[in-house]
Each structure stands twice: as C-alpha cells, then as structure tokens.
Amino acid sequence: MQQENDAMTSGDHRTAELDVVVVGAGFAGLYALHRFRSLGLRTRVFEAGGGVGGTWYWNRYPGARCDVESMEYSYQFSDELQQEWQWSQRYAPQAEILRYLEHVADRFSLRPDIQLDTRVEAASWDREKGRWGVRCSDGSRWNARFFVMATGCLSAVNMPEFPGRDSFHGPIYHTARWPHDGVHFDGQRVGVIGTGSSGVQSIPLIAAEAAHLTVFQRTPTWSIPAHNRALDPEEVRRVKETYPELRKNGAMQPFGFDTRSAETAALDVSGEERQVEFEDRWRRGGLAFLGGYNDLVLSREANDTAAEFVRTKIRAIVENPAVAAKLTPATAVGCKRLCVDTDYYATFNRDNVTLVDVSTEPIEEITPAGIRTSAAEYGLDAIVFATGFDAMTGALLAVDIRGRDGMTLKQKWAAGPRTYLGLSTAGFPNFFFVTGPGSPSVLTNMVPSIEQHVNWISRLILHVIETGGRTIEARTDAENGWVDLVNEIGNLTIYPTCNSWYLGSNVPGKPRVFMPYLGFPDYVMRVDAIAANGYEGFEIGA
Ligand code: NA7
C-alpha cells in the first residue's frame, strides 16, 4: 500500500486508499502521524509549507520564540527524545524549535509519509463509501476512512486590507510569513503595525537595527519580562531526572503547565502580601505571573490588583509619561493573551522609536511613501504587519470541507464554531481536528494539549475499528451541551471583557464567540469519562 501511495504523483487521478489523511506537519501533525502509524493505520500527512514545523516553519521574524519554557514546550511521548534533546535557552528561539521538530521527523522516520508543498484544498464525505475524498493542490486525490485537521490554532494569517497597500514603494512583511533568508533593516525607517506577541517580540530587535521605528498600536498590550537566559546544565539535569513529575504537575494546573498556580485568592490576602507575590513573579518572569492567585482570570476585581502592579512597572520603565500612558492597557491582564518580552517597554525610551496610537488616529491608508493616519503621514522604507491570525477557525475553514448531505463546515459554523469536545462536529463523520475551538488549546501549553488530543482521537479510532464500527459522529444534542458548557465557563472569566482573537474579534466580520475551554485538568477528566462511558455523545455507525 505504501508503495502505491508513494507512486501517486501530480496529475495521477487514481485515488489512493488510506486509513487517515492528516493535514499539517507541525507539532500536531507530526505526533498524529507517529501515533496513527504505531496503531497500524496507513496515514499520510499533507503540508503546505516547504518543510515540517508548522507555526515554527513560518514565523521566522526577529525575536520569535516560545512563551512557555522550552523544557515544557516539548513532546513527552518519548522519554528517549526528551532525555536526548538539549534545549539551550529558557525560551527557545524559533530556529531551535524548528530544528527540534526536524529532528523529531527524522528520529521517528516520519518523512516518507509527509508530502510537503501540498495544500489540501477540499475534503468531502462520501456517504456510500463511508470515506473521505481529499483533493490536494498538486491535483492528487486521496481516499481515507478518517480525516484529521492538524492545522494549528494560529496559522491562517490576518492581513488587514488597508487602502493603498499595493502602492507602497518598499517591502511589506507579515511576521507569520517571514522571508527565510532574513530581512535587514539597517538604516531604514520601519513601521510595525500590531503589538501582540509577534510585535512585542520583534519590536525591540527591529528598533535596535533600524534608523527609525514607528510602532502603530491599536490596543496596548500587557507584557511580563521573559528573563530569558541560557539554561544551566545542572538545572537541565535536574529537570531530566524528574521529567515525569514535571509533566504530571503541569497537567494538573489550569493552563496545563507549571505556572506554580496558587490555591489562594488575591482578594483574600492583604495588599502588602500581593505586592510581595507579584514582585516575586515579575522577577522570575513569564506567563506564571497569572498563576499568582487562583482568581486572577475569574474576577475583574482580583485582576485589577495585578493590573495596578504592572501599570506601576510600565510607568517606572517608560521615561516619557505620555508614552507610558499610551502603552498602558485598560483591559484585564491576560484578557488578550499575555505577552512575554525582552525589553519591550524600555524600547520606547529609545530616541529612534515613535509610538502612534491608532485608536485615536486610525490608519486611513498606505501611501507610496508610508502610512497615513487621520493625523499625519509617516514616511517609511519597510512595513511589518504583526497583525496576527484568523485564530482557531481560520485554517479549518480555509479548506472546503463537506460533511454529510454536502453541508460545508463554513455553513455549519457561520455563527461561530460548534464542536463536541473541541475535536469533532456533528454532521461530519470520521472527521477530527486537533486542539480545535471548544478545547483548552490556546489557553494551555500547546504541546501537551496536542498530545492529549492525538492520544484521545487515536484511542477513539481504535475503539471504532475494534467494535466493528464503520463511522463515528458527534450527536447534535451532545454538541449543543458542549457549546453551552464552553460558554458558561467562558462567562465566568475575564476573557469576554475585551476584544481578542480568543473571541475572533480581531478579524472584521468574524462572529464574536469565546472559543477555548478554560481548565486543562477539568477538560481531561471530562473527556476521559466520556471515553470510559463508551464514547458518550458519539454515534457509532455499523
Ligand atoms: P495578535 O496577538 O493577534 O496581535 C495582533 C496585533 O495586531 C494586535 O495588536 C492588533 O490590535 C493589531 N492589529 C490587527 N489588525 C489591526 C488593524 N487593522 N489595525 C491596527 N492594528 C491591528 O497576533 P500575534 O501574531 O502578535 O500573536 C498571536 C499569538 O501567537 C500570541 O498570542 C501567542 O500565542 C503567539 P488589537 O489588539 O486587535 O487592537
């Protein structure tokens, strides 16, 4: 069978038979391939990029690195792998994470079953055959019993349509489509639009190189220092000796990694005590800042105590009070995804950096010479869009996916994504997505969440096969209950109180729906109970 699959070439319209088609060769697709193959499933991965790595293949902008510590931002399915791989820094840079994923592809001999430079354009369910028909950009067609989208939550690029964009005389870059041979900003006037993680990571480095940097900020961002550093070999040895405990401890915390989550509520302790705790977490750096108290993402009042702490820090770092005020968010800390930075706020003390608040002077157009807001025209030689992604649903809806009765996923999700457990959707048999909307995904350390989903989906597939089933599909009533639960949990938190890509509100016209499920341990407990109950909420067809 493998030989026959490999013989499929562009223009060959025979349909190759597979057990599983997987889309995407990032963290999710690579592990899915490894896992499905180990179950004896004939699996083929299609990847639009020219290499493996997913988000780490595309996001090569200056300063790109993970915001969960490297020793945890890695696979745990193979102890040999986690023992032998050497991370060099507390937060690994993009190039190192990409090398890791390339190593994983080689170490587990995944490459023969990965087809690069191939975009899956369409997939439709054939009711008669009980199989998915998949069409790729190279003209090839494939046929598989199961269809799995492992396309990542942050992969479909958000490129705002400013009038005049094509008239600009210089290059325009997007952080998530960065040229592979790098970009030199030496001596140039550069404009960066966007101050989410990609902006926060790249702005200090672009400022250090460019003649002048103008940052166009629509909403200020909360950022905690990364205090990135080389990893100490002794520390690495200790972690490796106790890896299972570190992983287990991470899985028991709300965000699925070690945020040293406290049991105490911020509002139950004194202001002095909070000050000591916040100061300690600021000094240690990173996303664990939000683990300081157990009510920081649940209560606006509790969150305000953390917000006031960071506001004071911004005012202390940024010398010009007017600039500090512009950089200070009014939203709850962590309402938009919290950023982790190296010298972000301090960069605005540089003489060659200008901050433009486009919430008060909106961008009206891109001109041949630069960017014109309602107040001024800023002359530029290069523009960087750090404008993020059509998150969580963008990559799923970019493929023409048709389920039972020809219904498209786009039609079904027109008012927002509807999923059962964040990995399946009614009306689309034998179709799964990894870390989809309705699962903890982006509110966690992505790598363990991916492994948990792939393990769960593969056990479900095995169950269908072993019980002699032909199809499996989420029931609509179960899905409705799940959507309600995700919303109920979301409404107990600070997340709906601002606009963010968690809600889809960064993309014009996208329905405003809170997409992730808050609480990794609770999620795992629920889905494991569902599996133990014979995959409650799913219909298995003979
Ligand atoms: P984000 O976090 O979505 O940030 C995008 C930024 O671009 C954000 O500041 C946006 O402002 C800004 N933006 C988007 N559209 C516009 C328009 N039309 N005009 C002006 N400014 C705009 O994406 P990132 O790539 O930085 O990070 C994504 C995730 O990757 C991150 O959370 C980490 O998990 C890794 P807004 O806040 O919407 O007003």
Contact 367, 377 (CB under 8 A): yes
The Å distance, Cα 114 to ligand 1 centre, comes to 31
| Ligand 1 atom nearest 193 alpha carbon | 21
Per the listing, tokens 């009014």 go with: 330
Helix then strand then coil, in percent of the chain rounded to 5, is 35, 20, 45
Q: Whose CA is nearest to atom 12 of ligand 1?
A: 194
CA distance 522 to 528: 10
Q: Whose CA is nearest to atom 28 of ligand 1?
A: 388
Q: Whose CA is nearest to atom 10 of ligand 1?
A: 194
Q: Whose CA is nearest to atom 14 of ligand 1?
A: 387
Q: Whose CA is nearest to atom 24 of ligand 1?
A: 388
H or E stretch at 5: helix 2-6
What DSSP string describes 58-124? H---TT-B-SS-TTTSS--S-HHHHHH----BSS-BHHHHHHHHHHHHHHTT-GGGEE-S--EEEEE
Give the Cβ contact number of residue 2 at 10 Å: 10
The pLDDT score that the predictor gives to residue 5 is 40
Q: Whose CA is nearest to atom 33 of ligand 1?
A: 197
Q: Is 424 helix (H, G, I), strand (E, B) or coil?
A: strand
Ligand 1 pocket check: which of 198, 214, 335, 366 to mutate, most ligand atoms within 8 Å of Cβ?
198
Nearest to 444 by CA among 259, 294, 221, 295: 259
CA distance 344 to 170: 26
Kindly list the protein residues whose Cβ atom lies closer than 6 A to any atom of ligand 1. Answer: 154, 160, 175, 193-199, 218-219, 337, 358, 363, 386-389, 501, 506
The Å distance, Cα 287 to ligand 1 centre, comes to 18
Nearest to 89 by CA among 340, 347, 442: 340
The Å distance, Cα 280 to ligand 1 centre, comes to 29
Ligand 1 pocket check: which of 505, 506, 510, 512 to mutate, most ligand atoms within 8 Å of Cβ?
506
Mean pLDDT by 10 residues, the chain (542 residues): 38 68 98 98 98 98 98 98 98 98 98 98 97 97 97 97 97 98 97 98 98 98 98 97 96 93 95 98 97 96 98 98 98 97 98 98 98 98 98 98 96 98 98 98 97 98 96 98 97 96 95 96 98 97 91
Ligand 1 pocket check: which of 153, 197, 363, 446 to mutate, most ligand atoms within 8 Å of Cβ?
197
The Å distance, Cα 83 to ligand 1 centre, comes to 36
The Å distance, Cα 503 to ligand 1 centre, comes to 13
The Å distance, Cα 297 to ligand 1 centre, comes to 20
The Å distance, Cα 194 to ligand 1 centre, comes to 5
The type of residue at 465 is: I
Inter-axis angle of helices 446-466 and 243-251, nearest 10: 80
The pLDDT score that the predictor gives to residue 513 is 94
The pLDDT score that the predictor gives to residue 15 is 59
The Å distance, Cα 417 to ligand 1 centre, comes to 21
Contact 290, 338 (CB under 8 A): yes
| Ligand 1 atom nearest 176 alpha carbon | 25
Q: Could you say which DSSP state residue 130 is in?
A: T
The Å distance, Cα 208 to ligand 1 centre, comes to 22
Per the listing, tokens 């960017």 go with: 371
| Ligand 1 atom nearest 385 alpha carbon | 7
CA distance 487 to 264: 25
Q: Whose CA is nearest to atom 20 of ligand 1?
A: 218
The Å distance, Cα 337 to ligand 1 centre, comes to 10
Q: Whose CA is nearest to atom 15 of ligand 1?
A: 387
The Å distance, Cα 144 to ligand 1 centre, comes to 37
pTM for the model: 0.96
The Å distance, Cα 407 to ligand 1 centre, comes to 32
